[in-house]
Each structure stands twice: as C-alpha cells, then as structure tokens.
Amino acid sequence: MANLNKVSFSVSVTPKINISEADNYYAAHDIINESVRKTVGGSGEITGDDAIIDDTDNNGSTNGSWNEGSNTAVTSNGSTLVVDASTDLVFIKHTGLLFGTSNASAAADTVQIKIDASATSDVSGSDSVVLAELRNGEAMIFPTPGSTYGLIFASGDNHVGVETLIIGT
C-alpha cells in the first residue's frame, strides 16, 4: 500500500480599524473594517503523489530539517528553497529568533522571500522579485507552486531563523 501526503491548510484575514480613545467615553479599540464587514479566508487539502517530506539538500536547496517534531531552522541570509511541478506545498515561517540563537529578534529583523526569476521563464525583468516580507512569528504557504524556481531568503537588519517545510518534492 502506498503512502500519500495529505496536507490540510487554511488562511484567515480580519481587516480591522483602530478607533482612538475618546476621553470619558470609550477606550481605544479595534473594530472590523466597515467596507469588508467580516473575516475572509479559505482552506484546502492536497493529496500528494508521494510521501516525501523534503528535509535534505536537493537540487541546490538549503532546506531546514525536521526530526521527531522539531525543526532545524535555516538562515534568512541567502538560503534557497527549490520547488518544481512535483512540489505539493511550501511552508515558511519567521521563527522570531536570531539565527542559531535563542535570542528574540527585533521588529526590524524581517525575512524577505524572493523568487529567483533567473531560473524560470515565468517571470521577466529583474533576477529576483520580493514576494513577501515576514515579521516575527508570521508564516505563509505556497500550495501547489506549479513550476520550477527557487525561493531565496534575505534578511532585514540581522539574520534570523526560518522554519521551512516542503512536501512532495
């Protein structure tokens, strides 16, 4: 019997507005944005072709590793994750710690996630494009990336730890 990856994921966004304090009437508080009026989100499940959790270097990747539920983070200083059409899901999280330490990182210590456009014809122009910048504790996923490219990490002020998980490569 074959082992298959079955990955569930979800995302939720609540757009808020901060109402300033009105002395003797109410304290400052957050409310849901009047135009949107709700939390938006979605979820999905991917059943992969294989049971591979990519925790080793492959095709030039500098992926972090997982063992017994613990992650060994990679650095935000130029680490590369290689994905291709066989990749089911990529998870990336800013650990909130300076790389290789247990010291908390500062707000300016972000992780930029760039796509290496030089490795694909899907993106033109610059050799790298910033897709997102994660702050302490923030995470994102790329379900079914769909083509071959590299995701490159870059640092804000200091190098921080990045937790990664690639499924189905």
Burial 18-39 (b: 16+ CB within 10 A, else e): eeeeeeeeeeeeeeeeeeeeee
Look at residue 63 in the predicted model and tell me its pLDDT: 58
Look at residue 56 in the predicted model and tell me its pLDDT: 46
Same domain as 98, residue 43: no
Same domain as 58, residue 38: no
CATH code, domain carrying 109: 2.60.120
Q: Where are the alpha helices (DSSP H) in 17-157?
A: none
Distance CA 13, CA 38 (A): 9
Same domain as 129, residue 111: yes
Look at residue 4 in the predicted model and tell me its pLDDT: 73
Please report whether residue 63 resides in a domain.
yes
* Structural domain ending residue among the three candidates 47, 63, 78: 47
pLDDT, tens digit (0-9, with 9 covering 90-100), for 16-45: 999 999 999 999 999 999 999 999 999 999
Same domain as 110, residue 88: yes
Same domain as 152, residue 96: yes
**Domain containing 31: what range?**
6-47
Can you tell me whether residue 12 is helix, strand or coil?
strand
Please report whether residue 15 resides in a domain.
yes
Same domain as 94, residue 158: yes
Same domain as 122, residue 64: yes
Look at residue 79 in the predicted model and tell me its pLDDT: 85
Number of domains in the chain: 2
Q: Phi and psi (nearest 5°) for 52?
A: -90, 125
Same domain as 66, residue 42: no
Same domain as 91, residue 13: no
Same domain as 40, residue 12: yes
Look at residue 23 in the predicted model and tell me its pLDDT: 93
pLDDT, tens digit (0-9, with 9 covering 90-100), for 49-105: 655 565 444 444 455 677 777 788 888 888 888 888 888 888 999 999 999 899 999
Cβ–Cβ < 8 Å for 54, 63: yes
Burial of 152 (0-12, 13-18, 19+ CB in 10 A): buried
Please report whether residue 150 resides in a domain.
yes
Please report whether residue 1 resides in a domain.
no
Same domain as 153, residue 100: yes
pLDDT, tens digit (0-9, with 9 covering 90-100), for 113-162: 988 766 555 555 556 788 899 999 999 998 888 777 888 888 878 999 99
Kindly state the tokens that stand for 124. Answer: 């033109």
DSSP 108-128: T--EEEEEEGGG-SSS-SSSE
Distance CA 165, CA 67 (A): 12
Please report whether residue 96 resides in a domain.
yes
Look at residue 57 in the predicted model and tell me its pLDDT: 44
Same domain as 104, residue 38: no
